[in-house]
Amino acid sequence: MEPENKQSILIIEDEEAIAELERDYLEQSGFSVALAGDGASGLARAIEEDFDLVILDIMLPGLDGFSVCKSIREVKNIPILLVSAKKDESDKVSGLGLGADDYITKPFSPSELTARVRAHLSRYARLTGGSRAANDVIEVRSLHIDKSARRVLVNGEERLFTNKEFDLLVFLAEHPNQVFSKDELFRAIWAMEAVGEIATVTVHIKKIREKIEPVPGSPQFIETIWGVGYRFRA
Ligand code: CA
């Protein structure tokens, strides 16, 4: 990927260790990342500079994350991912209608963060015509996934995916050879819609297999690891 095509993320977080961990992981995943250590400087940068997404901690010295979120939202539509330290803060976020696109509760895994970031960037790219999105393509054997266009081809033939099937396939394909439990997959893909249940994961895996596997009963892409979960074989 060319450096100028990198999508840029602003992390507003006063805990330096957490900010650096998030930054390192997102940089490894191909993003360009800037850090702001307090609400006021974070807000200024979010408004003046051209970021694709903001990761915003709620508990900040001075101007807190709620206020920063509201103020960014008054002038920009970019995705805002709120980070909360406690479950009750999350509830507040969901109830306040601050214009945040998502929230994630500490502690979270770096892969969960990256999955959320990618999901929001691709949603935003679709909403805005995708002009800024990098043309991210995953190719594994007969499978071709175009993340920007949200298209899946098998041996050059397009297969239609629902949003959740697509998000789940991309999440697995972006973490090849790693085993995820149904619970982890559910949290990564469905966290914002509390209506579902874990069995949803099983149903979606079955549907994805029917679309991408040459022999669905004997999968070569998404393997079942009995008693544990699933693994995408690259
Ligand atoms: Ca904090």
**pLDDT bracket for residue 39 (50, 70, 90):** very high
The alpha carbon of 83 and the centre of ligand 1 are apart by a number of angstroms equal to: 9
Do 8-128 and 137-232 agree at the fold level?
no
How far away, in angstroms, is 124 Cα from ligand 1 center? 26
The CATH number of 8-128, from 3.40.50.2300, 2.40.110.10, 3.40.1370.10, 3.40.50.720, is 3.40.50.2300
Interval between CA 81 and ligand 1 midpoint (Å): 14
Tens of pLDDT along 158-190?
999 998 999 999 999 988 889 999 988 988 888
Q: Is 22:14 a contact under the CB 8 Å cutoff?
A: no
pLDDT digits (tens, 9 = 90+) for 124-135: 877 776 444 455
The pLDDT, as a whole number, for residue 187 is 83
Cα 87 to Cα 100: distance, rounded to the nearest angstrom: 16
Q: Which residue has the tokens 């990256």?
A: 114
| CATH number 1.10.10.10 given to 137-232 | yes
**Whole-number average pLDDT of the chain:** 86
DSSP H helical segments within the chain, as ranges?
16-28, 39-48, 65-75, 87-96, 110-127, 163-174, 182-190, 199-212
Instruction: Say whether pLDDT at 95 is over 60.
Output: no
Give me the pLDDT at residue 217, please: 87
What values do phi and psi take at 62, rounded to 5? 75, -120
pLDDT of residue 38 exceeding 90, the answer is yes
What spacing in Å lies between the alpha carbon of 62 and ligand 1's midpoint?
11
> What confidence score (pLDDT) does residue 132 get?
42
**Centroid of ligand 1 to alpha carbon of 90 (angstroms):** 14
Residue in the structure block whose two tokens are 């408004």: 47
pLDDT at position 147 is: 87
| pLDDT value of position 91 | 60
- Using alpha carbons, list the distances in angstroms from residue 47 to 10, 76, 166: 11, 7, 32
**85 Cα–ligand 1 center, Å:** 8
What is the pLDDT, as a whole number, of residue 161? 93
In the structure, what pLDDT confidence band is assigned to residue 100 with cuts at 50, 70 and 90?
confident
pTM score of the predicted model: 0.55
First and final C-alpha spacing in the chain? 20
Q: Where are the chain's structural domains?
A: 8-128, 137-232
Residue 92 clears pLDDT 90, i.e. is over it? no
* Residue 149 predicted with pLDDT over 50: yes
Q: What is the pLDDT of residues 45-83, one digit of tens each?
A: 999 999 999 999 999 998 999 899 989 988 888 999 988
pLDDT greater than 50 at residue 195: yes
So what's the pLDDT on residue 133?
Answer: 45
Residue 224: what pLDDT? 94
For the chain, what percent of residues have pLDDT higher than 70? 88
Q: What 8-state DSSP symbol labels residue 5?
A: G
Q: Supply the Cα-derived Rg of the chain in whole angstroms.
A: 18
Decide: 31 and 132 in contact? Cβ < 8 Å.
no
Q: What is the mean pLDDT of residues 34-53?
A: 95
